[in-house]
Structure 1
Amino acid sequence: MRFLLSTIGSRGEVQPVVALAVRLREMGHGAVVCAPPDFREWAESLGVAYVPVGPELRGTARRGAGAVPTAEQRLRMVEGTVTAQFEAVRAASEGCDAVVAGGALAVAARSVAERRGIGYAYAAFAPVSLPSAHHAPPVFRMLGQQPAAGPVDNRALWAEDAERWNSLWGPALNARRAAAGLPPVEDVRGHIFTGAPWLAADAALAPWPEPSELEVVRTGAWLLADDRPLSPGLERFLDAGEPPVYFGFGSGRVPEGLTGLVIDAARALGRRVILSRGWADLSLVDDAPDCLLTGEVNQQALFPRLAAAVHHGGAGTTTAAAMSGTPQVIAPQNFDQFYFADRVERLGIGTHLRGEPTAGSLTAALHRALDAEVVGAARAVAGRVRTDGATVAARRLIGTR
């Protein structure tokens, strides 16, 4: 069998579908990933067939790139991505038996599957992105949204969320469906998610709340095994002293001045720092030997050797840290990051920075993360994180036409 795995997003969305593609290939089946061009070279180096869609996303991490778009700009963005997706996903799905949409912005996948008469499944990477009376919808700061400051009516918020989906995505989606000879969609979110979405998140870190109106299929997180060695320079730094603190925001934007605050907080507690450049192209504040700058790195090899990890709370980084037993300090900015920050704090495996980070709040958060109680909880949770999610999903997909 052959499958198309479609997603729109950064590393947090692309890496899981690449993990699923690799697992399907290992099981003797074909898979092609349709995703932004930023990850094509990396995916192809793993032997994954890759079809790029839309523009490169790397520039979104630059300072000044996070301004909330106007209504007119949002409309152009939506029309552009819907058009690009329909064209790329339709071409990439040739000869496929089913299409999997990974993440909420893969808006063309179900329509393409419908037009070809093949199977379709939708996978979310965090419980908070699926409708439930137990939590509010995730926050899209790019749409000007902010986390609720007090008690909320979750059902009412999800109804408002459905209306936003229809008004923002409905016109462009239905125009492309009409051009393909398909009937219009009245409930855009329900159309994409289906009534039985898959949840590709670890049950220990990110469980699905019950009771539920959705028939959620819980596969576990789709993790990509990484056996790359750490660089000699990184190995020397790790061996030269006590376990350091890691700071990285991956493909996300980094608030102004946060790098210096993290380094100062670590130094105040006698800790060295490993700083990841990320898409924001971060740099060190000085040339002192207690800090090391690194590029993209094997987190599965690095994280078990850290004292703590300070990061943005993306699903991939949070799961990697949880799997390694590394205490975490999360400074969330967008979407599911607030959910993962809250889960880390509830599990007692790290801390959640609220509001604008300051030298005091960062030092206190890092001090708490380094506490023996938190270290012990992180190690205990690590023993409960499963690594077979991609296998579970692949087996289910193979049995679903």
Structure 2
Amino acid sequence: MQVFLVTMGSHGDVLPFVALGAELQGRGHAVRLAAPAPFAALADRAGLRFHPLGSPAEYDRMFGEPDFWHPRRGIHAAFAFNTAMTEPVFRWIEKDWRPAQGLVVASASSFGARVAQDRLGTPVVTVHVSPLLVESRSASPSLPGLSGSRFASSRLRHLAWRGADRLVVDPAALPRLNAFRAMLGLPPVGRLRHWWNSPLGVILMFPGWYCPPQPDWLSQIRQVGFPVADRLGDEEALDPDLLAFLEAGEPPLAFTYGSTMRHGAAFFEAALQICRRMGRRGILLSRREEQVPPNLPPDVVHVRYAPFGALLPRCVALVHHGGVGTVMHAFAAGIPQLVSPLAFDQFDGAERVERLGVGKRLSRGAFDPARAERRLRGLLSSGAVRAACRLAQLRMAGRNGVPEACDEIERLAGSIGLAGSSRSEL
């Protein structure tokens, strides 16, 4: 069976699709991956045939845009890239897809895949890696940057989301998307967050204990576990210098603001001060040297990248932005989390961390060394937090949503009669 994987976004968005591709290829399927151009090396390490979307310069401009990290204006910056990739994704599928031989597995923001489904009849399976992308009146996710929304009822939040769709989300995405659809003779999309779900199947890559299933979810939704894919990252093992640092003293605090953040200097300066105030060692994770304070003391180190699966179990706590992949790895490590969300699904991630009792939230505007120190001291001294972290760790142990999602992809392929849709048919 041919499987076309398509995704947009950052390292945390692309890595689960690389893991899906590696698993499906290991089952004997012919896999191709389309993703932003900077992830070519990641796909190559996984042995996947890769199709670049955009250029590295275009990708860098998107994440370098200051508005990208604004909780409301960021949606325009993100959709500018995603909608620009609609036609390239469609043409890639149109050129190589063959009826009755394969299907497309796509992220919600891979609009060209859904256009191909509408225009060509291509079977598409939608994959959501974050609960933010799933509508529900009974358990509506938190809205990015809307102060107080986490304290509102689910119904009020759902109504607020409908307003955000009408005033922010749809105006950012639909004009360019619908212009391309008109060129193909397709009717316009009326509401993006409804249309981006494939009627064939939707896979949610987060477990029920993190986001409980809801009675008003779409009938084609199937929920699996988190996509544990750290072994497919830039490196599989800890750098020897980092390993020596970890073994030379007490477990450190770890700090990250995400793989694509371009404006994190204030965060890492605060991180250094937090370590000093608490008398603790620290690890500052950032791919960009210029964000990190110069002349760090010996007990605080800067690391460009480290696999979380190997690093975080050796740390005492994680301070981060709230991306779902980072949240997942802190769960697996069984350590407390202090979350300072910036945009997109990070506010929802912060709320879920608090709800599960494994961490606290501190807004970007309130994030300073004194407040962060108080939050961290409270987390590290709490028996209830330790118990909640241990429970999350136990829930993570031995479960990986990647094989589960591939089982579902094969099941859906079999339901529409695709040749070679399961390992037993290969």
Normalised by the length of structure 1, the TM-score is 0.88
How far apart in 2 are the matches of 1:327 and 1:245?
A: 10
Q: 1:156 aligns to what?
A: 159
1:235-275 per-position Cα deviation (integer Å, ceiling 9, x unaligned): 11001100001111122434452212122112222210111
Q: 2:181 aligns to what?
A: 177
Q: Which amino acid aligns with 1:39?
A: F
Q: 1:35 aligns to what?
A: 35
Q: 1:393 aligns to what?
A: 405
Question: Of residues 259, 281, 284 in structure 2, which corresponds to 1:272?
Answer: 281
Shift of 1:168: 3.2
How far apart in 1 are the matches of 2:64 and 2:76?
A: 22
Paired residues of 1:34 and 1:89 also in contact (CA < 8 A): no
1:78-110 per-position Cα deviation (integer Å, ceiling 9, x unaligned): 6533334333454464676111122x3211111
Residue 108 of structure 1 aligns to a residue in which SS? helix
Q: How many residues get paired?
A: 396
Shift of 1:19: 0.9
Q: Which amino acid aligns with 1:167?
A: P
Paired residues of 1:54 and 1:85 also in contact (CA < 8 A): no
Q: 1:97 aligns to what?
A: 102
Paired residues of 1:265 and 1:359 also in contact (CA < 8 A): yes
How far apart in 1 are the matches of 2:191 and 2:142?
A: 18
How far apart in 1 are the matches of 2:76 and 2:224?
A: 39
Q: 2:4 aligns to what?
A: 4
Q: Does 1:233 align with 2:256?
A: no
Q: 1:212 aligns to what?
A: 216
Shift of 1:197: 2.7
Q: 1:294 aligns to what?
A: 303
Q: 2:363 aligns to what?
A: 354
Residue 250 of structure 1 aligns to a residue in which SS? coil
Paired residues of 2:312 and 2:333 also in contact (CA < 8 A): yes
Relative to structure 1, the CA distance from residue 363 to residue 92 in structure 2 (aligned partners, 3 Å threshold; closer, same or farther) is: farther
Decide which structure has greater helix share.
2
How far apart in 1 are the matches of 2:75 and 2:362?
A: 31
How far apart in 2 are the matches of 1:28 and 1:73?
A: 38
Q: Which amino acid aligns with 1:389?
A: G
How far apart in 2 are the matches of 1:236 and 1:70?
A: 39
Relative to structure 1, the CA distance from residue 91 to residue 37 in structure 2 (aligned partners, 3 Å threshold; closer, same or farther) is: farther
Paired residues of 1:311 and 1:330 also in contact (CA < 8 A): yes
The more displaced of 212-221 and 147-156 is 147-156
How far apart in 1 are the matches of 2:3 and 2:224?
A: 17
Q: 2:378 aligns to what?
A: 368
The 5 Å alignment of 1:73-88 reads 80-88=84-92
Q: 1:202 aligns to what?
A: 207
Normalised by the length of structure 2, the TM-score is 0.83
- Which blocks of at least 5 consecutive residues in structure 2 are unaligned? 414-426
Question: Of residues 89, 114, 117 in structure 1, which corresponds to 2:121?
Answer: 117
How far apart in 1 are the matches of 2:380 and 2:76?
A: 47
- Which blocks of at least 5 consecutive residues in structure 1 are unaligned? none
Residue 193 of structure 1 aligns to a residue in which SS? coil
Q: 1:223 aligns to what?
A: 228
Shift of 1:180: 2.9
Shift of 1:302: 0.6
* Percent of aligned pairs sharing the same letter: 28
